[in-house]
Amino acid sequence: MSRKVALITGASAGLGVEFAEQFAKDGHDVILVARGVAKLEALAAKLAQAHGVKAHVLPADLGQPSAPEQLFARVQELGLAVDFLVNNAGFGSSGAFLDQDLGREAEMVEVNCTALLKLSYLFARPMRERKQGRILNIASTAGFQPGPYMATYYATKAFVLSFTEALAFELEGTGVTVTCHCPGATKTEFTARAGNAESRLFKRSGVAEAPEVAGHAYSAMMKGQVVAVHGVLNRLAAFSLRFSPRAAVRFVTARLNQQA
């Protein structure tokens, strides 16, 4: 495979680290984006040494409205053409919506939705001009249903799913593919940040390993799949939701998001 450039947001932890490893292993240069500079620099050094690729560190707080445009400008200044964009940065919160910090809920929409939308726009336009490129947007199985006690998070992921499918359709035949990947519960730093490690969803067995989930997403993107759900049970659940009464879906999801 010829050497290309992949930009990965949320590359300082969890799935993002795995994506960076995967691209580097396949001989691609990487642009690592997140707030945690020390972690990004350590990863960049490791990838450069292990795989002989160039690993650029571009720190950004995607909760800041101007961050996507600044990031795009920085990439242009470096003279880099991005072949793969992975919109992976994201976080959640748990508990009743009215008991959350409003600023943090709004920041979640900024990071999970607005930054993803802006980066898709900014990087897909040059991809369309070059008639090649792949975008991977990380949603969640949460995107298929409303999620009481994680209301904002589930809604952000429904946005990612809907937006990505539509964009994929619009870009058909242009040489640019857009993939929405939906992981189920996965072992990363997500629960520590969201505060839902004790929820029924994460306490049950079958929480997936990050390398396995990232590998599945990576391969779906390389195949140009529009929507990919990780895990047979998650796929069954996402499918069955189409035929389930909404009241039952809300009830079951609320229970999963609460502690036993």
Ligand X SMILES: NC(=O)c1ccc[n+]([C@@H]2O[C@H](COP(=O)([O-])OP(=O)(O)OC[C@H]3O[C@@H](n4cnc5c(N)ncnc54)[C@H](OP(=O)(O)O)[C@@H]3O)[C@@H](O)[C@H]2O)c1
Judging by beta carbons within 10 Å of its beta carbon (0-12, 13-18, 19+), is residue 35 exposed, middle or buried?
Answer: middle
Active site residue 121: no
Instruction: Work out how close the CB of 14 gets to ligand X at its nearest, in angstroms, rounded to a whole number.
Output: 2
Paired tokens of 19: 């994506």
Cβ neighbours of residue 251 under 8 Å, at least 6 residues apart?
none
Residues of this chain, 2-21, that bind ligand X according to CB under 6 A: 9-16
Instruction: Work out how close the CB of 10 gets to ligand X at its nearest, in angstroms, rounded to a whole number.
Output: 3
On the CB side of 89, how many CA atoms lie within 13 Å of its CA?
30
Please answer whether residues 233 and 239 qualify as being in contact, where contact means their C-beta atoms are separated by less than 8 angstroms: no
Instruction: Work out how close the CB of 131 gets to ligand X at its nearest, in angstroms, rounded to a whole number.
Output: 28
Residue closer to ligand X by CB (options 35, 128) is 35
Residue closer to ligand X by CB (options 68, 148) is 68
| Strand runs labelled E in the chain | 5-9, 29-33, 55-57, 84-87, 133-138, 176-182, 186-187, 208-209, 227-229
Of 121, 149, 153, 218, catalytic: 153
Cβ neighbours of residue 59 under 8 Å, at least 6 residues apart?
33, 34, 35, 37, 40
Please answer whether residues 93 and 142 qualify as being in contact, where contact means their C-beta atoms are separated by less than 8 angstroms: no
When binding is defined by CB under 6 A, the residue of 93, 94, 186, 253 that contacts ligand X is 186
Instruction: Work out how close the CB of 60 gets to ligand X at its nearest, in angstroms, rounded to a whole number.
Output: 6
Residue closer to ligand X by CB (options 18, 83) is 18
Sheet bearing 176-182, strands edge to edge:
55-57, 29-33, 5-9, 84-87, 133-138, 176-182, 227-229
Binding mask 127-166 for ligand X (x = CB under 6 A): -----------x-x--------------------------
Instruction: Work out how close the CB of 76 gets to ligand X at its nearest, in angstroms, rounded to a whole number.
Output: 19
Q: Determine how many CB atoms are found less than 10 A away from the CB of residue 2.
A: 6
Residue 211 CA, chain-centre distance (Å), reads 14
Residues of this chain, 100-129, that bind ligand X according to CB under 6 A: 111
Size of the site for ligand X (CB under 6 A): 29
When binding is defined by CB under 6 A, the residue of 5, 6, 55, 89 that contacts ligand X is 89
When binding is defined by CB under 6 A, the residue of 24, 75, 83, 88 that contacts ligand X is 88
Q: Which stretch binds ligand X (CB under 6 A): 50-58, 59-67, 123-131, 240-248?
A: 59-67
Binding site for ligand X (CB under 6 A): 9-16, 34-36, 60-63, 88-91, 111, 138, 140, 183, 185-186, 188-190, 193
